A and B are shown apart, each in its own frame.
Chain A
Amino acid sequence: MAVTPENLLRRPLTTQKCTLGCPVLDRCLAGGIPCNSITELVAESGCGKTQLCLQLALYAQLPLSNGGLSASTLYIHTEFPFPFRRLQQLSRSFCYSHPDLRCNPCDNVFVHAVHSADQLLDTMPHIETFLSEPKAQLPIKLIVIDSIAALFRSEFDNTPFELKRRSSLFFKISGKLKSLAKRFGLCIVVTNQVVDYIGANEGINGLRLGNFGSLYSSGRRVCAALGLAWANCVNTRLFLSRYEEVIGEDKDLKEVEDGDYLCRQTRRQLSVVFAPHLPDCSCEFVIRKEGVFGVG
């Protein structure tokens, strides 16, 4: 029981952060993903949520002096299959740029599959034991849940009782994760999907959360899945979005068919929706074979 208050001067004056593996993105997030709290990545599929999480799992292994946590990662995936090949690919370029690492970085990423919200709650005690008796050389300091939305999308009916059960589960999961985060100094990252925004600005549909009046991705207006109750469960919400930009016309294609002859380029952006420690800011990024990089 915490009956003695913490002296704020005794802890580091900035919360420990885990680097994203790119100085531009780190600058946007004031050093990376903070420990002791839950950071949520919200995006439609194909925006780079999983890419960013995999990259984080690798860079968390870096020593503290390089912005990492000197730690291994527990990667809980709920969408299948787990992208092993991509992790492998990223880890090769990670090894290439960090030749002083001794072991295979993939050895420090523990992958666990979870199929339902109840199963996730049932796993929590095991996770706790796993954290307190580390099997790996590096202690676990990063837990990724990719994605939280997949656990909740189908199983619940749209009745008041079911909705109540659902939000009670949100708070249980979040409470448990936060208490683990506090106890072990963990960095917790969850990903969330988006749903299309329906209806006009009426009632709670148009409810604004955070720095943006509305969120757009691929030209559609979207909002984070799981609603208001879940939004209360995370400390920091980041939004990844993409849009197609026309950069020119392909002459050859134009002659062949009357279909799509425009050359497009996908542009991606990371924005802070809300965070206790960050101002309203955004950063453009690209996804390459070697990983995710901020631009500008």
Chain B
Amino acid sequence: MEVGRLPISASQRGKLISAGYTSLSSLSSLSPSDLAKDLNIPESEALEILKVASLTSRLDKQDGNHAFVNGAQTAWDMLHEEQLFPRITTSCADMDEILGGGINCKEVTEIGGVPGIGKTQLGIQLAVNVQIPVEYGGLGGKAIYIDTEGSFMVERAQQIAEACVVDMSEYNDLLRKGNRACQVRIQPNDILENIFYFRICSYTEQIALINYLDRFISEHKDVKIVIVDSVTFHFRQDFDDLALRTRLLGGMALKLMNLARNYSLAVVIFNQVTTKYTEGSFQLALALGDSWSHSCTNRVILYWNGDERYAYIDKSPSLRSASAPFSVTSKGIRNSASNHKRIRMM
């Protein structure tokens, strides 16, 4: 029996078999909600089973036919898998739209901007939003927040978490008109508890922590986002040897990229803005230099346009350059209040 080989719990296996799912192919075209209904288990668990099953069947295929490199994936499989993974919403519909639905898992996204533009606010928002349960279209994951600058404020995180819970219950009411069984189970305090917060005070600590993350995440597989706020701060202090700095940063970026891929999680790193002297004038640019700018898959720049905050996709292999307004409200990141204009394509 094929399901016998799946690395899942005995009770899950029992449920699968008694519901009639014995072969991997019987699981291949199933939606998580159907499976959840059939087995009478939560949807998140069903999703987990389906993921395991699809991985196993893929490995089987590779052993047989076309796997001359172990672990190789076809582009088709990758596309399928990417579609399977929900994105992490920013809570600003316009920003989600230019990001192709939100922050993508398995990728490293760099976000830069001037002080006060809302980098930390966006970081806290993502740490909260990654926890939106699967039944609300979220990931139901946990967050790692690496604070290098000391700007993370618990009261602000709580405020944003509360607003997120309120939004979810409104969504609930809208969908299932006061069905008591489906009340939002997650509470603001649960959200705070599921943010693993690290405060880092030097660049050596930062490197050590990022080296250690692999072990930490292998013990906490439900972590779905790693936020570094900011990657820059400690690397602007003491580096006379810029080559060393570049090497250290490159190594760190590589580790983060591996984490993103191996654990299917999103990595978001914040960067500061600095002035760069080119062709006789000072221009704004993200800090840490040119070689660093190759380190991240996606690059988003936050900037002021008049009185409005905007996000701009500066670099991405799959998204086109576009910008979208957003605002920072008491509830967190939201659509810009004065936004009735269309998104401007650049």
Q: Which residues of A contact B (CB under 8 A)?
A: 1-3, 5-9, 11-15, 30, 34, 36-38, 160, 167-168, 171-172, 175, 178-179, 181-183, 203-204, 207-211, 213, 228-229, 231-232, 234-235, 237, 273-274, 276-277, 279
Which candidate, B80-88, B176-184, B277-285, B288-296, is the interface stretch facing chain A? B277-285
User: Do A182 and B199 form a contact, CB below 8 Å, given A210-B116, A228-B274, A228-B275?
Assistant: yes
Query: Interface on chain B toward A: helix, strand, loop, or mixed SS?
Result: mixed
Closest B residue by C-beta to A234: B115
Chain A residues, Cβ within 8 Å of B103:
none
Would you call A274 and B277 a contact (CB within 8 A)?
no
User: Do A276 and B154 form a contact, CB below 8 Å, given A3-B209, A231-B115?
Assistant: no
Would you call A37 and B151 a contact (CB within 8 A)?
yes
Would you call A2 and B209 a contact (CB within 8 A)?
yes
* Chain B 150-191: CB-based contact to A (< 8 A → 1; otherwise 0): 111111111000000000000000000000000000000100
Chain A residues, Cβ within 8 Å of B196:
5
Chain A residues, Cβ within 8 Å of B336:
none
CB distance from B215 to the nearest CB of A (A): 9
Q: 22 A–B contact pairs at CB < 8 A?
A: A5-B144, A5-B216, A7-B193, A8-B157, A9-B189, A34-B153, A37-B151, A167-B236, A168-B237, A168-B238, A171-B233, A179-B201, A203-B283, A207-B114, A210-B116, A228-B274, A231-B116, A234-B115, A237-B115, A237-B116, A276-B152, A279-B330
Q: Which residues of B contact A (CB under 8 A)?
A: 114-116, 120-121, 144, 149-158, 189, 192-193, 195-202, 205, 208-209, 212, 216, 232-234, 236-239, 272-275, 277, 281-284, 304, 306-307, 330
Would you call A6 and B199 a contact (CB within 8 A)?
yes
Would you call A175 and B114 a contact (CB within 8 A)?
no
Chain A residues, Cβ within 8 Å of B283:
203-204
The distance in angstroms between the C-alpha atoms of A273 and B210, with both chains bound, is 32
Chain B residues, Cβ within 8 Å of A167:
236
User: Do A235 and B282 form a contact, CB below 8 Å, given A172-B238, A209-B116, A210-B115?
Assistant: no
Closest B residue by C-beta to A37: B150
User: Do A179 and B202 form a contact, CB below 8 Å, given A8-B197, A208-B114?
Assistant: yes
Would you call B197 and A5 a contact (CB within 8 A)?
yes
The 8 closest A-B pairs by CB, nearest first: A274-B116, A210-B116, A5-B196, A179-B201, A277-B153, A171-B237, A276-B151, A8-B192
User: Do A182 and B114 form a contact, CB below 8 Å, given A9-B193, A168-B236?
Assistant: no
Would you call B233 and A232 a contact (CB within 8 A)?
yes
Chain B residues, Cβ within 8 Å of A273:
116
Chain A residues, Cβ within 8 Å of B198:
2, 5-6
Cβ-neighbour of A229 out of B120, B152, B205, B274 (below 8 A): B274
Cβ-neighbour of A172 out of B237, B272, B304, B330 (below 8 A): B237
Closest B residue by C-beta to A208: B304
Chain A residues, Cβ within 8 Å of B284:
204, 207
The distance in angstroms between the C-alpha atoms of A208 and B310, with both chains bound, is 13
Chain B residues, Cβ within 8 Å of A208:
114, 304
Cβ-neighbour of B154 out of A5, A14, A38 (below 8 A): A14
Would you call B153 and A15 a contact (CB within 8 A)?
yes
Given contacts A6-B199, A204-B275, 16 further A-B contacts (CB under 8 A): A2-B199, A3-B208, A3-B216, A5-B144, A7-B193, A168-B236, A171-B233, A171-B237, A178-B201, A182-B201, A183-B201, A203-B281, A204-B283, A229-B274, A274-B115, A276-B153
Would you call B155 and A36 a contact (CB within 8 A)?
no
